[in-house]
Structure 1
Amino acid sequence: MTDLHSVLLDEDKCEGCTNCVKNCPTDAIRVHQGQAIIKDEKCIDCGECVRSCQHHAKQISTDGLDKIGDYKHPIVLVAPSFYGQFTTDIDPVKIVIAFKQLGFEEVWDVALGAEALTRKTAQYLKDNEGPIISSSCPTVVRLIKLLYPELLDYLAPFKSPVQLVAQRAKERAIKEKGFAEEEVGVFFITPCPAKMTTVNNPLGLEKSYVDGAIAVDKIYRKLLKKVKNMDVSMDYEEYETPYLGISWGKRGGEADLLSSENTISVTGIHNVTSILDELDRGDLPSIKYFELVSCEPGCVGGVLNVKNPFVAQFNIENLVEDHGKFIEQSLDDYDFELDKEFTPNTVAPLDDDFASAMAKLTELEEEIDELPGLDCAACGAPDCRTLAEDIINGLANRTDCIFILRQQLAELTDEMSSLAHSLPPIIQDEGD
């Protein structure tokens, strides 16, 4: 795994198909000479290429459970969507106990931070006209930083629930329990690659408060085994489950808790892109708050989860349906403010030298004019403009376009036929 991304390409497994190219929302992938390439500066770790790759060539690098042994006091953060992996007959407190049996000293619910952030956001909405976009989904934030920098000022200027709870848990372990900072390790059970990426490449922070992220599919079965074998008669430690915060794991969980008529919940990265296009055009003046989540239907649809996302959503809905109160906690327990503003992601120029870049820009426009403009992706690039860019950068050839190749083959065939009829008489006689 690099510091930039957790979605990686296994070149040995890549078969050169273009499924990933067609599904990438930021045109970060192209296939040339039978091999996929992921451009780091355009990847937002949404995991769509992982979903679409039938050959499992796109993989996600996360931490293993063994990493908690690097810390004297390991703490685990449980994502709201994680509870959707279990049927409602499994008490959330059992899950907490099972995590401790796996070696964690403390278990914290990210749902606590979700409830606190909901209340903080409600206050913010009263004082600001909007539009306001939730900044809790790192993929959406990265999408806006890359493709919609003009919308950055609309992002809610708050830490995500994961970072809120991680900071609180770590500071408490240091100040109240006396551990040294290097002795405390905070691990998040992640449903998606984007949250893994924020460990090394955080958003709006100088440094992440999370020290590692373990994929749901790496720990789920170990945990389930302990939960199923747990003695139901054992005395549970006192633990108050933040049910309303757990509802954040499904579609609409955040927007519903805000109790505002002017909120909208959109899930699925391509749906999110569509709504951002409309917002960018100024077509949504009546909507004040946008809950945007890259996975469908919410974080329960994260590519690292185990259960069918709609079953997981059903499980969460049943789990929280009879609970209508926030956990009693002070907002002063959390530091909501970001270290720095969200800034645009810059895509590498055509060339580092300005004069060369301008020359390449002219070449780019010429190449675009030569291409058919159909954006069919059969060439291995997501669209004709990207293919043109790859051509001038020496990564592709114009004949990678099947339409140009067909045209050249037709012209070559006509030329060969013409040459065949233009042979000298003596050669024609010999051929007879």
Structure 2
Amino acid sequence: MAGIVWTEKNKCKQCYTCVRQCEVKAVRVKNGQAEVLTERCISCGNCVKVCSQNAKMVKSGIKETLDILSQKQFKVAALAPSFPAAFQAGDYKKMIAALKALGFDEVWEVAVGAQLIATEYEKLLANANPPIIGSTCPAVVNLIEKHHPNLIPYLAPVVSPMIATGRLIKSIYPGARVVFIGPCIAKKDEAEKVHGVDVVLTFQELEDVLTLSKIDIESPILNQDFDEPYFDSHIAEKAFRGFPVSGGLYLSLKDNFNFSRNTIVVGGKEGAVSCIENIEKTDFKPFFVDILMCNGCIDGPFFKNVNYFINWEKVEAFVQDNRGYAKNQESLRDFIRSFQDYSKVNLYRDFTNMQVSLNYPSETEIKKILSYTNKFTREDELNCGACGYSSCREKALAVYNDIAEKDMCLPFLLTKEMDEKKTTMEYNREMNAIIESSYDGIFVSDGDGRTLRLNRAFARFLDKPLESLIGMKAEKLEEERIIYPSLTYLVLKEKRRLTLIQETSSGKKILSTGNPIYDEEGHVSRVVINSRDMEELNRLSRESEEA
């Protein structure tokens, strides 16, 4: 069963980039195609970002969104705090208008949810038993649940801003449908596991929905219909609108609780994985870890090929200008004080141990796997990393667990290719010697009748330099009366063995037999002709009779 991310068959070119870039080795190469192992995948989307062939597919939320928009229930679009980086400066008004035109009743900022959970983090940290690992990033949560379940007790049992926003909306508008829009792939996985939002769209999918609905965000008519559009959510404080940058959670917390400054901010897959591994395996025990799998949400997988620093600048400008709200709009803090059902908004969650353990081979089994790629001693283990694994033994472990193929080894493949090339060259030399030593004339063309090769005996029949005939087509050879009729043309036409007498430009008559050679699909790919000089054949016949 496909998960959130999978590989489209036959697009994969075996570059192993996704294998190298996957920190949890959730990509298996099988029969020359990369496969995403759902049970190991943390849905971070990095393989999507690095795949040069666009072979990685992501579960789409487009159909579900269009279904929701066609229904009568109250509908809310929830924009991730990173949205200013996805669009041009000032386009937030156009985006709100476009979302309303799609059929959404309200458009909210998920900065609202960020403010809600920050309050819960402050409570949690005031009475914490460290380490406390932030749970705002669903890819980090997946990393711990699937690969480091011993750390589940240290995950902050608080929902993400997306889920918090969705739950608040559903408390205010019972039965409402909520569509989250952002740059994150892991949010799609989170939405399926944790109640809060109904569908997750990436920014790219939002553009596709607008295109399908024939809504032009730049249309003057659209902007006239929604004069001065504002967000419908209550105004979140500035700090929470800056949540998508690395350290956004930590920077938003009020330092009104007494805790050690032993706090670490981690952004990026290498740092995140290393941090988690160190907490589990060493004495490294920070008080609080604000951790994201990307360098902030502004570096998410659907900000592909966009400058991180420009994204940061766009978000910061939006935060500082405090745009998007009417002057008389109520603050979130004031709304919470007056909202009677706020106590019913559950901002907490549980986590699940979903670990898939690897099987560990014996040293004998490891050596057997290594020997396949000619690694018999420690010196043979180059640990070059070209296969995507940090060492030959790590790759052998993957082979043992059916995650990698045995011949995924660049030095081995290069040596193998050189050996095969050497063998092929020797074979070609041998075949050339055999063909050239033949007393008979030998002529070979391709499936289009183009001359590929002929031996010198055949060239003598034609009284032409051998090199001048290479590449000539059968029709031209016949048209110029170099050799006629064209046996090559007749064999290609009738697709069977034929024998006939041909005449050459030198006046010779030759007895020729043409044989078609078929490819795997049943098409004639070569025509091979064997020819003898009729005069020579007659002479031999007379000598035989006289004897």
Task: Name the TM-score, length of structure 1 as normaliser.
Answer: 0.77
Choose from 225, 246, 252 the match for 2:241: 246
* In 2, Cα distance between equivalents of 1:393 and 1:155: 29
SS of 1:244's equivalent in the other structure is helix
- 2:267 match: 267
Deviation per CA, 1:350-407, whole angstroms, max 9, x where unpaired? 5xxxxxxx9x667644446755554434456665345434544677664554556788
Change (3 A) 1:13 1:288: same
Choose from 352, 355, 358 the match for 1:343: 352
Change (3 A) 1:385 1:70: farther
More displaced, 213-222 or 325-334?
Answer: 325-334
Residue 388 (structure 1) aligned with residue 396 (structure 2): yes
The residue type equivalent to 1:187 in the other structure is V
More displaced, 309-318 or 253-262?
Answer: 253-262
Deviation per CA, 1:166-198, whole angstroms, max 9, x where unpaired? 122123322xxxxxx4xx422111311110122
SS of 1:320's equivalent in the other structure is helix
Deviation per CA, 1:51-103, whole angstroms, max 9, x where unpaired? 2111111122221152333532222111111123245544x565434321221
* Bigger helix fraction: 1
The residue type equivalent to 2:46 in the other structure is E
SS of 1:225's equivalent in the other structure is coil
* In 2, Cα distance between equivalents of 1:84 and 1:397: 40
Counterpart contact for 2:69–2:102, Cα < 8 Å: no
Counterpart contact for 1:86–1:312, Cα < 8 Å: no
Counterpart contact for 1:27–1:382, Cα < 8 Å: no
* In 1, Cα distance between equivalents of 2:416 and 2:54: 35
Listed as ranges, the gaps of 5+ residues in structure 1 are 175-180, 351-357, 414-432
Counterpart contact for 2:120–2:158, Cα < 8 Å: no
Deviation per CA, 1:87-144, whole angstroms, max 9, x where unpaired? 5544x56543432122112222211110011111111111114221110100011111
Q: Name the structure, 1 or 2, with higher relative contact order (CA <8 Å, separation 6+).
A: 1
- 2:203 match: 216
SS of 1:36's equivalent in the other structure is strand
Per-residue deviation, 1:312: 1.8
Aligned ranges 1:56-205 → 2 under 5 Å: 56-64=54-62, 65-73=65-73, 74-90=75-91, 92=92, 95-174=95-174, 181=175, 184-200=176-192, 202=193, 205=194
How high is the sequence identity, in percent, across the aligned residues? 28
SS of 1:189's equivalent in the other structure is strand
* In 2, Cα distance between equivalents of 1:321 and 1:82: 15
Counterpart contact for 1:98–1:227, Cα < 8 Å: no
- 2:217 match: 225
* In 1, Cα distance between equivalents of 2:77 and 2:163: 12
Deviation per CA, 1:14-44, whole angstroms, max 9, x where unpaired? 1111111111010111334422122221111
- 2:5 match: 7
- 1:422 match: none
More displaced, 143-152 or 17-26?
Answer: 143-152
Counterpart contact for 1:367–1:388, Cα < 8 Å: no
SS of 1:31's equivalent in the other structure is strand
The residue type equivalent to 2:384 in the other structure is C
Counterpart contact for 2:81–2:110, Cα < 8 Å: yes
Per-residue deviation, 1:155: 0.7
* In 2, Cα distance between equivalents of 1:270 and 1:379: 18
Counterpart contact for 2:168–2:345, Cα < 8 Å: yes
Please tell me whether Structure 1 or Structure 2 has the larger radius of gyration of its CA atoms: 2
SS of 1:280's equivalent in the other structure is helix
Deviation per CA, 1:259-294, whole angstroms, max 9, x where unpaired? 454433211111111222332344544x42211111
Change (3 A) 1:364 1:107: farther
* In 2, Cα distance between equivalents of 1:397 and 1:6: 24
Change (3 A) 1:385 1:327: farther
| Count of aligned pairs between the two proteins | 385
The residue type equivalent to 1:27 in the other structure is K
* In 1, Cα distance between equivalents of 2:417 and 2:203: 51
Residue 258 (structure 1) aligned with residue 256 (structure 2): no
* In 2, Cα distance between equivalents of 1:55 and 1:236: 40
Change (3 A) 1:234 1:151: same
Aligned ranges 1:410-421 → 2 under 5 Å: none
- 1:428 match: none
Change (3 A) 1:148 1:373: farther
More displaced, 223-232 or 302-311?
Answer: 223-232
Change (3 A) 1:98 1:348: same
* In 2, Cα distance between equivalents of 1:402 and 1:88: 47
- 2:277 match: 277
Per-residue deviation, 1:314: 0.7
